[in-house]
Structure 1
């Protein structure tokens, strides 16, 4: 099982003046500790599940570029981009830029978007849910075309690109992996089967059924279910001096038995760095033995 670090909260102990320095320390520590992925949310306001909207929130892709400069091996992604927040041609270019400058470590994490309050607050587009899913499908088609060196015009219902030129081209071939977040059984998981190399699901009691639905969608489109990396979220709390490590390993073991191959989680007290060292020394090596991702 792979272990990824998510950074959902940028309210650091020393405030915005030292945030860049603290964030760089976290990234370097996670990279050295053996985390496979490093992700940030694509939000402009803090989300209610984490804190008040007024709490510090950094723009995702500026942050990932910063993190790329302070790491050498960890894969970089959003968990996940709101598809309506950026035009698809621009998004493909953003991911391509991150991939080139990071040496081929960019992923596209994407979903239909849900946080209407931030969109209204900043004047961002937020069409009805059905249209957001239509735009998500077209965004995926545009990104794949731009990453394939096909410069022929793209004409969709919502997006038209006269010349989807992408130079420099991505280093990752055939293209940066696509992770689609969400567990919607009729639309989201169907898009995973058609386009994605990874999915991200909540680790609740419905997880086994979601994976069964995904398998059925894969069969319907002739896709190998085993080619898709199954990921979920998790909250790592190692406790004082790492006394909760065994509990974490038990949780990861249960998730692995369900078919989860990667966990992308926030870490309590991440700014202290010591929890990252504990996870690197006592969790990541043992988690790797729970299963190998495709």
Structure 2
């Protein structure tokens, strides 16, 4: 039997909670599989960007949605490791899994957005140190979420007979790693992830999947143990913008072709950001169109 690609929605946190809940509720009612929330405190600084635009905090949103929407999986895409100690994240994740009755997906990443670190006085180390710290954090998370007691003596984190109770409902609670770097980060995914996530159109994702498979072979892990998830900005009707970010869709036929390509490369889950779907009833109609194109 051919596996059916899952379909999930990613409402932007820079909109009122009522709008986020509307998207999540519609996804719940129309057969979508999950709702993901990004972990940012403000827009990423850049030309024409209003960095004072309001952004809601991810973990509070995930908890609220987990309680309000009873069927779909709820996940983070992804929690920045620099923002919270991994022992705190493990405690948070176990609680969220309890709130959702075993529907939480813990998405984590190394952290990257410069203006957030600068404004809040959070250290953003050089790349090697950033990734070394992230690898240690993954070991801490896996220990606290899966083992009765965890001790860890690392360069960045130290735990002494630490407990994390209650444990998650899921055994194990799935850890999603957001990563694109082929030399090191996909190797980290191969070693520690239950799910992998990256931005990309089907051709790029197919290439990254091949690299991930090679990392799995190198360490002797079955690559089928890691679900592959991806997203691109999605246009439903109208023309694609000329921007330096992955974009799919346009006409209904263009969107259908992109979805078929993701399915053909074996993507396990397509995550749709709502940034280009419109608002209100327009967004819900766009969601229905997308849902109709996935088997």
TM-score (norm 1): 0.87
Residue 178 of structure 2 aligns with which residue?
A: 181
Partner of 1:245: 252
CA contact 2:42–2:53 (8 Å) conserved in 1: yes
Aligned to 2:263: 256
1:23 aligns with 2:20: yes
Cα offset, 1:76, TM superposition: 1.4
Question: Structure 1 residues 246, 164: CA separation in 2 closer, same or farther (over 3 Å shift)?
Answer: farther
Residue deviations 1:232-282 (CA, integer Å, cap 9, x gap): 112233238x994332221111122233221111123453145335534x4
CA 1:266–1:152: 2 relative to 1, 3 Å: closer
Q: Which has the higher contact order (CA 8 A, sep 6+)?
A: 1
Contact 2:81 2:111 in 1 (8 A): yes
TM-superposed CA distance for 1:42, in Å, is 0.8
Q: Which residue of 2 aligns with 1:5?
A: 9
Q: Answer with 50-59 or 136-145: which moved more.
A: 50-59
Count of aligned positions:
278
Return the alpha-carbon distance in structure 1 between the equivalents of residues 250 and 141 of structure 2: 44
Residue 171 of structure 1 aligns to a residue whose secondary structure is: coil
SS of alignment partner, residue 237 of structure 1: strand
- Of residues 205-214 and 99-108 in structure 1, the stretch that sits farther from structure 2 once superposed is 205-214
Between the aligned partners of 1:144 and 1:45, the Cα distance in structure 2 is: 29
Structure 1 position 223 matched with structure 2 position 218: no
Structure 1 segments unaligned to the other structure (5+ residues):
12-18, 289-294
Indicate the residue corresponding to 1:143 in structure 2. 141
Residues 209-245 of structure 1, C-alpha deviations (whole Å, 9 max, x = no match): 32111111111111111221111112233238x9943
Match of residue 191 from structure 1: 188
CA distance in 2, matches of 1:90, 1:66: 18
- Report the counterpart of residue 202 of structure 1 in structure 2: 199
Partners of 2:277 and 2:212 lie apart in 1 by 35
Q: Which of these residues, 28, 32, 37, is aligned with residue 34 of structure 2?
A: 37
**Structure 2: distance between partners of 1:139 and 1:270:** 37
Contact conserved, 2:196 with 2:228, CA < 8 A, in 1?
Answer: yes
> 1:9, 1:48 → 2: CA distance?
16
Instruction: Give the counterpart of 1:82 among 75, 80, 83.
Output: 80
Unaligned runs of 5+ in 2: 239-248
Helix, strand or coil at the partner of 2:112:
coil
1:68 and 1:36 mapped to 2: Cα distance? 13
Deviation at 1:112, TM superposition (A): 1.2
1:234 has 2:232 as partner: yes
Paired residues of 2:277 and 2:286 also in contact (CA < 8 A):
no
2:131 & 2:51 partners in 1: Cα distance? 25
- Structure 1 pair 243–206 and aligned structure 2 pair: CA distance change class (3 A): closer
